[in-house]
Each structure stands twice: as C-alpha cells, then as structure tokens.
C-alpha cells in the first residue's frame, strides 16, 4: 500500500500484542462529536466503545484522537454482518456511513470488523478465476497494460526504502473492469475518475510493508485530493502470516501477555478489505488511527493483492502511459450489467 507519510520502522522493532486474526496526528472533532451514546444494554451488544492505548514510538505516536468503536469479542473472528448491523445498531452504522456514505450494506458477505474507524471485509469479492486472472496481468508484455516499478514506491523517500520490500505493477484501468465495477457498486461511487491507478502487488517470502498511513501528504493533494478509502483484494490464500495489521485498533479480548489483541486481517483468496485513511465527513482529515502494516508470510508463500484507492475528487493517472478511467467506462458498465451490479456511475 503506497501511502507512507513518514519513515517506517521495521515491524519487529515494535512490541506486538498477539493479533486476533480475522477469518483463517490529526485530532478529529467530528468523530468525537458524533460518537453515539447508547444505553448499557446496547453497549453490551455487538459494538464496544474504547480508548486507544498501547505501544507508540517517536516516529509513530499514538493518534491524537483516541476514541474508537470496535466489535465485541463474541463476534470474532468473523465480525458482524453489515446487513444485521444496519437493523440492530443504527446509530453506529450511521457513524460509519458518514465515512462511507455510498456503502452498500446489503453487499453479499460484507461484514463489519471495526466501526470507528471503519474496517470491513467481504469474502468472495473476487471469484477464484478473477483472482488468478488479476495476478496473471504481470505476465503481459504490453507497456500500455502494465507498468512495473523498479522498487515499490511510497510517498516518502530516502530512508523509506527499507519500509517495504515488494513488487508493484500499475495496471491499465480497462484491464480490470471487474475491480472498478465491484468497487463502484460496493462504495456507491458515481465517478470513475476518482479512482487512483489500480495496482497489483507481490510480497515474496519474507517481504513486508512496515507501519504506514495511506493518507496523501499535504504537498501532494493537488491530484485528486485526499484518499478516502483503501480497497484491497487478496488474490491467494496464505495459511499463516501475511496479515494486514492495525497497530492501534482492537480485536476484542486480551492476549497471553495481558495486552489488548490487535485487529489483523488474514489473507484469504477473493477476500476484500476496506478502510478509511481519511475522513470524508471532516474535509478529508487524515485518520492516524488507521496506521497499519503488511506482515510477511510465515511458511515461504508469496502473497498477491490487488489494491485501489478512492479519492475526494478526480484523479489524473500517470502510468501505464495512456491509461485512463474513461477508457474503461464501457467495460465497467458491461461487466456490471452482466453480473447484476447496480452502478451509480452514469452510462
């Protein structure tokens, strides 16, 4: 995930609470003002309000806004079905929808892992065939279809070279109409121009992406404004390791060391994870609570992911040369029609 705001530290340099695996410094007064206050009965239900605490470094201090709302530990490892949450916890869902206003809570398999900041997963977002086809894009001998970076880029420079060790390909929009169609339908996006270049990323055994933020630095906001949503799709199964881990977000309960369990999502073929690097309801304020890392796999497997970011406004792509969102529009609509997806994007 190419959104590093500061130099990252090695993952091993931070003491980790045992992650609870899912399935297999900017203060934000808006969030504090709208955090719902419910009765004791509801607080013991699906969601739990808590204050962020724990490990911090000079480089990555605890976020200024430490209020958070997680899912009760009884709902792990699968989270709460989004459709159920919409019916039983409307104040919390309303808070989440302010960050993701177009989110389709009826999406098949969509589950809530964390409410504030929102973290959701959707299993079977890609079929096995779609996963394999997306990963195979790396084999295309066409500079207009894929562009491989010599080294995976981040927003930082210099010392950030050790922040991640992976390989990234930028992919032409018209080669991944399925990703754009599904992302648009799930997020309720009415303008394809807001999507950053789709990417394919390979983590070879031992490779990782240390703690980082996905939000865009203030000096680079002229192209598309802030990133409001990160969408990743795991393209292969990873038996152990390779998780997307959030340092400051809780999974419910405590580990053997007595520390709160850290929210971490395990790679599963076809599974999508989405979260919000910045707050759409607070003028794109970066959300430091979403500090996260991509962990190395534990048994020598590669990890493959597709990734896509949604911006505040129209984004101008630079690679592959000649790629554009508009060039993919017809294919996106054709895919959506064929698969029964409801798009807000005009035909």
Rounded Cα distance between 289 and 282, Å, is 15
Inter-residue contact 287 to 117 (CB < 8 Å): yes
Helix ranges (DSSP H) in 35-161: 40-43, 82-88, 90-99, 128-135
Rounded Cα distance between 150 and 236, Å, is 23
Rounded Cα distance between 14 and 246, Å, is 13
Q: Which CATH architecture fits 11-338?
A: Sandwich (2.60)
Rounded Cα distance between 225 and 310, Å, is 10
pTM score, whole prediction: 0.88
Sequence ranges of the domains in the chain: 11-338
In which residue ranges of the chain is pLDDT below 50?
A: 1-18, 25-44, 156-161
Q: What is the pLDDT of residue 149?
A: 87
CA dihedral 91, 216, 65, 250 (to 10 degrees): 70
List pLDDT tens digits, range 221-272.
999 999 999 999 999 999 999 999 999 999 988 888 888 899 999 999 999 9
Q: What is the pLDDT of residue 258?
A: 85
């Amino acid at each position: 995930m190419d959104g590093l705001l500061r130099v990252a530290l090695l993952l091993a340099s931070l003491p980790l609470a045992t992650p609870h695996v899912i399935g297999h410094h900017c203060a934000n007064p808006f969030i504090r003002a709208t955090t719902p206050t419910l009765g004791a009965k509801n607080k013991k239900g699906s969601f739990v309000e808590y204050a962020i605490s724990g490990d911090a470094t000079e480089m990555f201090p605890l976020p200024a806004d430490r209020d958070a709302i997680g899912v009760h530990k009884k709902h792990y490892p699968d989270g709460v079905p989004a459709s159920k949450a919409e019916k039983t916890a409307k104040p919390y869902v309303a808070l989440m929808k302010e960050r993701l206003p177009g989110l389709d809570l009826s999406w098949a398999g969509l589950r809530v892992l964390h409410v504030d900041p929102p973290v959701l997963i959707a299993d079977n977002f890609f079929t096995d065939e779609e996963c394999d086809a997306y990963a195979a894009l790396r084999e295309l001998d066409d500079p207009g279809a894929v562009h491989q970076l010599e080294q995976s880029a981040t927003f930082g420079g210099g010392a950030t070279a050790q922040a991640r060790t992976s390989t990234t390909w930028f992919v032409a929009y018209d080669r991944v109409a399925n990703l754009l169609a599904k992302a648009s339908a799930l997020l309720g996006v009415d303008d394809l121009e807001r999507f950053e270049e789709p990417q394919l990323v390979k983590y070879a055994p031992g490779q990782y992406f240390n703690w980082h933020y996905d939000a865009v630095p203030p000096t680079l906001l002229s192209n598309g404004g802030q990133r409001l949503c990160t969408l990743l799709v795991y393209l292969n199964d990873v038996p152990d390791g390779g998780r997307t881990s959030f340092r400051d977000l809780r999974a419910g309960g405590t580990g053997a060391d007595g520390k709160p369990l850290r929210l971490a999502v395990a790679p599963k073929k076809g599974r999508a994870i989405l979260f919000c690097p910045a707050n759409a309801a607070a003028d794109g304020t970066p959300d430091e609570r979403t500090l996260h890392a991509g962990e190395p796999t534990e048994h020598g497997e590669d990890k493959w992911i597709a990734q896509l970011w949604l911006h505040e406004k129209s984004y101008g792509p630079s690679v592959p040369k000649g790629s554009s969102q508009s060039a993919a529009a017809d294919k996106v609509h054709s895919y959506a029609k064929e698969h029964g997806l409801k798009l807000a994007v005009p035909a």
